[in-house]
Structure 1
Amino acid sequence: MVPSPPPLTWRVKEPTPEAAAALSRSLGLPPLAAQILCHRDLHDPEQARRFLCPGLEQLPMPEEMLGLPQALEIIIPAIRSGAVIGVAGDYDADGVTATALLVEFLEACGASVVWDLPHRVKDGYGFKPQRARRLAQAGAQVIVTADCGISDHEGVNEATRLGLPVVVTDHHLLPPGPLVPAAAVVNPKQEACGMSVHLAGVGVAFYLAAGIRAALREAGWFKDRPEPNLRHSLDLVALGTCADVVPLVEANRVLVAEGLKVMSQGLRPGLAALAKVAGRKGVLDTMDLGFYLAPRINAAGRLDSPDPALELLLASEEGQALRRAQRLDRLNGDRREVESVIFEQALKCIGDDASLQEAACLVLGGEGWHQGVLGIVAGRLLERTGRPTMLFSVQNGTAVGSGRSREGFHLQRALAANAELLTHYGGHALAAGATMPSADLGRLAQALALEAARHLPPDTGQALDIDAQVSLGQLGPQMLEHIGRLAPFGQANPEPMLCAHGLEVDSCRVVGENHLKMELSQDGVRLPAIAFNCDEPWIENGSRLSAAFIPRISTFRGPHLEMVIKDLRPSA
């Protein structure tokens, strides 16, 4: 039997009534909204006011980016002399949007541009030597990377051997040892860089473009040609930033907020077409970007070449954009099918293996499993079982894998502790990847299971952080308007999570495959609620329950407040 995750642990944040009351008085906010701001460490009224009103004037200046002057010394002469600039991006949505931004911007400045994106299986991640050779063959005389390159000494050395100076723009952590030997390195994670360390790759590309534009303006380059409006590129910045799940704080919050405004104007045919095929209407939000648009951009690079995604973003004509968006939509459907097959095969492996059912960390390998979807499936298995999971595609004696973890088990460190088994590895606390000889998968599985057992107490569910306990009577339209001002929501700024007790089920019915639609009441106040993927047979009309939920405005059949349930339990 496949193990089920233990119940979620509700972790209600400690109220700070004095700080919340002071903030409420200063900003004219309801106490609940002020308390939520305090939980985001926004106690100072001026700091909170800036957070609630993000604007471009809050962005740091490009000069704060370490490495920018050296990059301009390479790129500005290339533009002015007519040299061909090659842009080397990555295959995910952040890398594709960063590439689109630089290609579009450089061409608008009058530069000749060629571009190259990696094939996930044939090239692997990063700026590899063969990519330098491809760009050289395409005529590039200068190379600018986008969302990659900080670890790619071999690729940069190959470009240098070919006589092509390389400007690395990246946002990933710097590896130990010497800095990559590029002509310039633009990465906010360098020590002594004054820029926000949270920028995505597309955010770094945006700042490079801003620096280039300022330098060209000072040189009089735009006297005889129109100056590119970088505000029009903020839709790409918003999409790539949300797709890469970087913290939506500081500069990222401003860039995404402004990018959503640009997106609502429908200026980019490719994104308008992508929203159409994804069934998203009206003003888009970060959920639309992260769960509907980004997966379709990523689908191309997950299953094959990412080129169609970039071609969509660069499309200038509506009909062409729609055809390209429809192709990505089909690829996304294919991706879901491939993902579903691997998910079911993995569940069967777990169900047939008693040792896996007891393991604190799941490590599975499958012959020919598609590398492009392993991370997604690992995330689904983590959600299904509550256990950190690594999945490997096995082929010709080599296993290439991706994993997802939960709070309390740092997956990258666990891999580092077993580096002798691995050919390559990397990642973060909650997501990591590795390449290794397939013969050593069993040893890795044992090691990770032991490590996870030490860090994750048995039968301890994942924590669900809750901002406040409320009554339904507190959730009027005005309150929702104030909570909405906390948007854009995302990593490090999640939608407010609330809880309420003693709710009565006035009605309930199953909708879709396994979703529960309810009407909940408390002290005469009645609100609609939806619980997705809910398997709670004890719930019926008249049941009393406690709910952890996100208050959200639903536009289905007219705008109204709806409780989006995240967890349920019986209430006395």
Structure 2
Amino acid sequence: MTFRLKQLQQRTVQSSAAFALPVHPVLQRVYAHRGIGLPEELQRSAANLLPFTALKGINDAVALLTQALDQQQQIVIVGDFDADGATSTAVLLAGLKAFGFKHLEYLVPNRFAFGYGLSPQMAELAVAQGAELIITVDNGISAIEGVALAKKAGVKVLVTDHHLAGNELPAADAIVNPNQPGCEFPSKALAGVGVAFYLLLALRSALRERGDFATIAEPNLAELLDLVALGTVADVVPLDSNNRILVHQGLQRIRAGKVRPGIQALIDVANRKAEKLTASDFGFSLAPRLNAAGRLDDMSIGISCLLAPDINVARRLAAELDSLNVERREIEQGMQAEALAFLQKLSFTQDQLPDCLCLYQADWHQGVIGILAGRVKELYHRPVIAFAQGDEGELKGSARSIHGVHIRDLLEEISSQYPGLIKKFGGHAMAAGLTIAEDRLETFQLALNFIAKKYLTPELLTAVIYTDGELASSDLTVAMAGILQQAGPWGQSFPEPVFEGRFKLVQQRMLADKHLKMMLQASDGTLVDAIWFNADNKTWPNANVQQVQLAYQLDINDFRDQQNLQLLVRQMTAL
């Protein structure tokens, strides 16, 4: 099957006011494309964080915590099995311990045995551990039955979450979630770890007001920002101005050497340098190793790594996570090969592809189907749902969507139009999880593509690489790459700058049979190195090609203490 290359399309100006900002003209253009117009939107000081007071339920939550502290109640934190859930759990454990809480335990559901969040089974475990207060992190907004079971047992429940609420809210004693109905907190993009951090900010303020810190040292919550930054990027939430502050502050602490042993060990095992860490390193190097524990084993390994008391313990746990990540990659590559072979057998042309792709194989690993769905989505530019075998005749699905198609809303409409077809679901605009009966897979596929027609247009189904236009040859420098790198953090909804341009292809060779290393020449004769990771080795290198059109990012290649400019190629076409 042959697919069209992604179209290159220059971004449009969202804020002309950006051209008055006191920054380099290239950066003015980049900011204008991202809607930045006011100097305060570029402020990355912690003092510019949004106040916690706008969070609905925050006062009730603090009241629960102060009572729990005064009575030294048994607290059980119920987390989630992904990187956001792990960092959320670690933030709350470390933060509450610093405030003087003495009876703290945590539970993270094994995805294969208990499923997601505060399920009734997890609530039973927490009650059995003697919980007097259950606190959920990165889950709970849909835990109707789990909360009810805990309340019936006389246990108080504090829900902290960031996922979208359903039609019914759990009967918790307090709910803190910027996406719950009636919450006026300006940023709806907080990750679960961000909500947990804000809860600690509110608690510190309350304890400060009542004079607790006259007798004990006031905790420095900034020490938790390395965890907050990692979890925020890992969960791929939009990096609005508030999240950019959280991520920037966390990165600054790490680069300055103020990093906890667990994150330092993850940096080491990923062969990164703490002093040069970027937000993309969180997403592509650290988070996958942390997530591997929840995908294949038990996220407790990841949480233990994050909370490791010293670097030696942390390195041992990071090595375990690294091994799990290698195993995860091997499983994923096998599943991806099977999925692509299946799709190729169907011999779809580009115009015949279903609007949504639904994949299932009985022996696929339940912990890896989300990654598989994401990989296939990138190749086919369609929403993808991959299913694996669950328990007792059920299939567990993981969905990944394209921009413009809110996958959770799509699933909600299917559930409304076809009652009982989906047993349960939840998630975000770009990712969701669901459970269906195994014998209803074909019905679900038909319903999915029928409902999807309301959401999808030919424009949405056209894969596009958005660029920030062309760069002058004089801007192809290490200095410019440094300016752009420092202007971040870049991430979801605040994408790293991508440029386009024509170059002469001077040299080309394949590295490791999959990466195309090149020497390019700009129009004024400037020579620049470039690399295209995972290039098509059936097409390249091609000695007959002399001129190419690129979409690329500026990068600094550090080698033997020498810094050189390198273009990271996103797409290349022969001219």
Shorter-chain TM-score tier: over 0.9
Change (3 A) 1:548 1:328: same
Q: How does 1:479-518 map to 2 (within 5 A)?
A: 479-501=480-502, 503-518=503-518
Q: Whole-Å Cα distance in 2 between the matches of residues 349 and 241 of structure 1?
A: 35
Change (3 A) 1:83 1:414: closer
| Paired AA for residue 166 in structure 2 | P
Q: Whole-Å Cα distance in 1 between the matches of residues 414 and 54 of structure 2?
A: 38
Which residue number in structure 2 is paired with residue 10 of structure 1? 8
Query: Is 2:407 the partner of 1:376?
Result: no
Deviation at 1:300, TM superposition (A): 0.8
Contact 1:59–1:251 (8 Å) recurs in 2:
yes
Query: Is 2:260 the partner of 1:268?
Result: yes
Which residue number in structure 2 is paired with residue 36 of structure 1? 30
Deviations 1:73-123 (A, max 9, x none): 111011122111111111111111111111111112221211111111111
Deviation at 1:356, TM superposition (A): 10
2:248 is aligned, of 223, 243, 257, to 257
TM, length-normalised to structure 2:
0.92
Q: Whole-Å Cα distance in 2 between the matches of residues 236 and 228 of structure 1?
A: 16
Secondary structure, aligned partner of 1:340: helix
Query: Is 2:99 the partner of 1:109?
Result: yes
Q: Whole-Å Cα distance in 1 between the matches of residues 281 and 52 of structure 2?
A: 29
Query: Is 2:296 the partner of 1:303?
Result: yes
Deviation at 1:532, TM superposition (A): 1.2
Q: Whole-Å Cα distance in 2 between the matches of residues 267 and 20 of structure 1?
A: 34
Change (3 A) 1:414 1:483: same
Q: Whole-Å Cα distance in 2 between the matches of residues 441 and 203 of structure 1?
A: 36
Deviations 1:10-62 (A, max 9, x none): 11124689756533xxx1x3322211111111223x33xx41x4111101222
Q: Whole-Å Cα distance in 1 between the matches of residues 498 and 250 of structure 2?
A: 25
Deviations 1:413-448 (A, max 9, x none): 443343222212233343222211122212222343
Deviation at 1:218, TM superposition (A): 2.3
Which residue number in structure 2 is paired with residue 543 of structure 1? 546
Contact 2:505–2:518 (8 Å) recurs in 1:
yes
Which residue number in structure 1 is paired with residue 323 of structure 2? 330
Q: Whole-Å Cα distance in 1 between the matches of residues 459 and 53 of structure 2?
A: 50
Give the unaligned 5+ runs of structure 2: none
Range with bigger deviation, 413-422 or 305-314: 413-422
Change (3 A) 1:434 1:15: closer
TM, length-normalised to structure 1:
0.92
Which residue number in structure 2 is paired with residue 279 of structure 1? 271
Deviation at 1:513, TM superposition (A): 3.1
| Paired AA for residue 298 in structure 1 | N
Change (3 A) 1:64 1:407: closer
Q: Whole-Å Cα distance in 1 between the matches of residues 348 and 12 of structure 2?
A: 40
Secondary structure, aligned partner of 2:303: helix
RMSD, aligned CA? 2.3
Secondary structure, aligned partner of 1:372: coil
Deviation at 1:147, TM superposition (A): 0.8
2:332 is aligned, of 339, 343, 354, to 339
2:414 is aligned, of 411, 418, 430, to 418
Secondary structure, aligned partner of 2:35: coil
Query: Is 2:400 the partner of 1:399?
Result: no
Contact 1:20–1:31 (8 Å) recurs in 2:
no
- Percent identity for Structure 1 against Structure 2: 38
Which residue number in structure 2 is paired with residue 74 of structure 1? 64
Q: How does 1:165-180 map to 2 (within 5 A)?
A: 165-177=156-168, 179-180=169-170
Q: Whole-Å Cα distance in 2 between the matches of residues 244 and 551 of structure 1?
A: 25
Q: How does 1:59-208 map to 2 (within 5 A)?
A: 59-111=49-101, 112-177=103-168, 179-190=169-180, 191-208=182-199
Contact 1:237–1:255 (8 Å) recurs in 2:
yes
Which residue number in structure 2 is paired with residue 245 of structure 1? 236
Q: Whole-Å Cα distance in 1 between the matches of residues 460 and 263 of structure 2?
A: 44
Give the unaligned 5+ runs of structure 1: none
Q: Whole-Å Cα distance in 2 between the matches of residues 473 and 463 of structure 1?
A: 27
Change (3 A) 1:518 1:195: same
Q: Whole-Å Cα distance in 2 between the matches of residues 378 and 307 of structure 1?
A: 25
Contact 2:163–2:428 (8 Å) recurs in 1:
no
Secondary structure, aligned partner of 2:426: strand
Deviations 1:358-399 (A, max 9, x none): 432321211132111101011112223333322111354221
Q: Whole-Å Cα distance in 2 between the matches of residues 407 and 492 of structure 1?
A: 10
Contact 1:33–1:479 (8 Å) recurs in 2:
no
Query: Is 2:205 the partner of 1:209?
Result: no
Q: Whole-Å Cα distance in 1 between the matches of residues 492 and 120 of structure 2?
A: 34
Range with bigger deviation, 362-371 or 230-239: 362-371
Change (3 A) 1:320 1:529: same
Q: How does 1:445-524 map to 2 (within 5 A)?
A: 445-449=445-449, 455-457=456-458, 461-501=462-502, 503-522=503-522, 523-524=524-525
Deviations 1:205-231 (A, max 9, x none): 001111111222222323332221101
Query: Is 2:428 the partner of 1:439?
Result: no
Q: Whole-Å Cα distance in 1 between the matches of residues 461 and 196 of structure 2?
A: 42
Which residue number in structure 2 is paired with residue 560 of structure 1? 564
If asked which structure has higher relative contact order (CA below 8 Å, sep 6+), I would say 1
Change (3 A) 1:225 1:459: closer
Contact 1:6–1:460 (8 Å) recurs in 2:
no
Deviation at 1:480, TM superposition (A): 2.9
Change (3 A) 1:527 1:16: farther
| Paired AA for residue 26 in structure 2 | L
Aligned residues: 559
